[in-house]
Structure formats: structure tokens, C-alpha cells
Amino acid sequence: PTRVIQRVGRINRIGKKLFDKIYIPDSVKSINGPSFSECTNVKSIYIPDSVKKIDGQAFEECTSLQSVRLPNGLKEIKYGCFYNCKNLRKIVIPNGVQKIGADAFAGCEKLEIYIPTSVRKIGKYITLTDVKKIYCQKNTVAYKYAKKNKVAVEITGTKRTQQNYVA
């Protein structure tokens, strides 16, 4: 079943419901704390561009989660946001995100992640055992991070966009 969140403003916690898809409406502006933590049946989440803030640990331990659509306008992926989402396959960090917090993707061993040039800081613990591959442009913070931490990296051309990566 699909769950459409019916709240205005912010989401604090939905609990361990048995939803496999979650659609967050445009009325939501922030996702607070571990709102979706341990929602082990959720496979996909749609987050609209109206959401400007997602707190740390928001989706930790969502072990069935395979896909997430992150909003444009997001500035930071906070600590532990997708911690141990071990079935997360692909994620596109939107242009404009400047920081990826520590442990944001720790334990996401199947993950292929596109990191844009806007990212200026990456926290600890995105290692080869945590993600499968990082896609980024050469000589960016993401590229240097991948090389330093021995993470598989694929260089994207300057004309390659987020949309091309997702396709």
C-alpha cells in the first residue's frame, strides 16, 4: 500500500507502519528527527521540493528502501540520514546541497550515488564498504573524497546532468 502523508508544515514521526511507498505532499516543509526511522517495509519515498530540511537519522534503518527522490533546494544531507538503508540502490544528491553529514550513507553497500559540484564537505564514513560507487566530476570534493577513501568513482562529464545519471 501507498501512504500519502496528510500533514501541513512538518513530519515528526510516522511509526513503523506497513507501507511500501510513501508520498509526502507539497504542504510539508520539513522532516524532523527520525520520522521514518525503522520503517522496514518502505521501498520508495517521494519528497517534494517544498521540503527544505531533513533532519539526521530521518530514514535510518529503512532496510527495504530502494529509492528516494530528494527535493531541490535541500542544502544538507544530515548525519545518519540514510544509515543502514542496505537496499538503497541509487540516489541523486540535488544541485545546491553543500554538505553530506557523517554516516549519512553508512551501511548502504548497494548504493550508487551522484554527488554534484555544489557539495563542499563530506563527513566521515562513506567508504568502499558503505557505498558501491560515487558519480561526480573530476577534481571536486566528492572526487577527492572517493580517491582518499578508496571508494569506486566514475567521472561524469561536465554536460552529464543529474537527469542523465538517473535515466
pLDDT tens readout for residues 33-66: 888 888 888 999 999 999 999 999 999 999 999 9
Average pLDDT of the chain, as a whole number = 84
At residue 144 the predicted structure's pLDDT band, cuts being 50, 70 and 90, is: very high
Query: What confidence category does residue 104 fall into, taking pLDDT thresholds of 50, 70 and 90?
Result: very high
Cβ atoms of residues 146 and 134 within 8 Å: yes
* Rounded CA separation 10/15 (Å): 15
pLDDT at 9: 47
The pLDDT value recorded for residue 63 is: 94
CA distance 91 to 114: 6
Beta bridge partners of 3: 22
Q: What is the distance between the alpha carbons of residues 17 and 2, in angstroms, rounded to a whole number?
A: 11
CA distances to 23, 78, 119, 123 from 82, in Å: 17, 9, 17, 13
Closest CA to 42 of 22, 70, 15, 12: 22
Question: Which is more confidently placed, 147 or 126?
Answer: 147
- 22 vs 94, more confident: 94
* Per-residue pLDDT at 136 exceeds 80: yes
Q: Which pLDDT score is estimated for 17? A: 61
Q: What is the DSSP letter of 39?
A: -
CA distances to 33, 65, 90, 139, 142 from 167, rounded to whole Å, are 31, 19, 11, 24, 21
CB-based contact 118:98 (threshold 8 Å): yes
pLDDT at position 19 is 75
Q: Which triple of cell numbers denotes residue 65?
A: 528502501
pLDDT at residue 45, rounded to an integer: 93
